[in-house]
Every structure is written in structure tokens, then in C-alpha cells.
Amino acid sequence: MNKLKRIENSKSKVGSRHTRKLKKYSTNFNKMFTFYLNSYRSGILTFCGDRVTILNDSQSNDAKYCFRLYDNGFYNLKDIESRHSNILKSIIIAKKAWGLWVDQWTDGICDWSFTKDDILKEFEDKNIKIPESLLLEFNNMIKRKKEKRNSEYLLQLRNK
């Protein structure tokens, strides 16, 4: 066997270097994965405003690997197949729902309809720990929207 055939043979058995690297999950990835799964299962992040279809294939990859591929944009124009289709569907819905609801929650916080503590208490009551990166995103969005609201309010006062 020549060298290229040996490489292709080993790739088919073990996987390529890129594939093996994608199957190593960091602690941050695992935190995000469990956060989305727990949030969906507890009923907090169940609506994302989009239809998510996952095809079930027992020979396909597991939910974690498919979610990693989804995060990397692999499934932009392809159908998503997984052997854990229900888990993957719930995680994708929760990820999309987080983006939708953070926008809505920050609008409500800036309009003084409710407070940030009300939102965080929902997660705390369900014993769900929000990852630091998502909390930072949430805080930054609140800050941006408050600055925008305040600048618009100042412009209105100046124009009177």
C-alpha cells in the first residue's frame, strides 16, 4: 500500500485529525451544553420562533458532536442528522431561544417592566447555573440598551 492509501485507511477507522479534535470537549463547551439542555427541560427556553427539524439516524454522530458542528456552521445548508435527535433538537431550540429572550428581557428591563433579578431568579429557582459568557452578554446588552434609551431621552429633552 502506498502512503496515501494508508492515510485514507486510517482516517476511515479513526477519523481525521480535525474530526478527532472536534470530539474533544472543553469544560466551557460542556457547561453551555448542559445549560441549554437543562433550560429546555425545565421549560424556560422552549420557544425560539423557528422550526427546528433533526433527522434521526442511528448510524450518525451523537448530540454533542452534532451541536459542535452546528455551532461551527457545518449545517447551514444541510439537513441535521443525529442519533440523539431529541436532545439535539432541544439544545438548538434553547440556544436560539436564549438569543431571542435576552433581547426581550433587556427591553423589559430598560422599560422598567421587571428587573434583572427577576430573570436570574427564574434560573436560580430551577437550579440552573448560567455560564459566565452568557451572563456577560446579558449584562452588556442591558448596558447598551440603557445607554441608547438615555441618549434618546436626552435628545427629546434638548428638543423641547
SS3 string of the chain?
Answer: CCHHHHHHHHHHHHCCHHHHHHCCCCHHHHHHHHHHHHHHHHCCCCCCCCCCCEEECCCCCCHHHHHHHHHCCCCCCCCEEECCHHHHHHHHHHHHHHHHHHHHHHHHHHCCCCCHHHHHHHHHHCCCCCCHHHHHHHHHHHHHHHHHHHHHHHHHHHHC
Residues 82 and 60 sit within 8 Å (Cβ to Cβ): yes
**pLDDT value of residue 20:** 56
Residues 122 and 44 sit within 8 Å (Cβ to Cβ): yes
Predicted confidence pLDDT, tens digits, the chain (160 residues): 688 787 777 666 656 665 656 667 788 989 999 999 999 999 999 998 888 889 898 888 888 988 988 888 888 878 888 899 999 999 999 999 999 999 999 999 988 899 999 999 999 999 999 999 999 999 999 999 999 988 988 888 888 7
**pLDDT value of residue 22:** 61
Q: Please, what's the largest Cα pairwise distance for the chain?
A: 84
**pLDDT value of residue 1:** 66
How far is residue 78 CA from its own chain's centroid?
19
**pLDDT value of residue 115:** 92
**pLDDT value of residue 15:** 60
What is the C-alpha to C-alpha distance for residues 50 and 87, in angstroms, rounded to an integer? 17
Residues 34 and 67 sit within 8 Å (Cβ to Cβ): no
What is the C-alpha to C-alpha distance for residues 113 and 32, in angstroms, rounded to an integer? 28
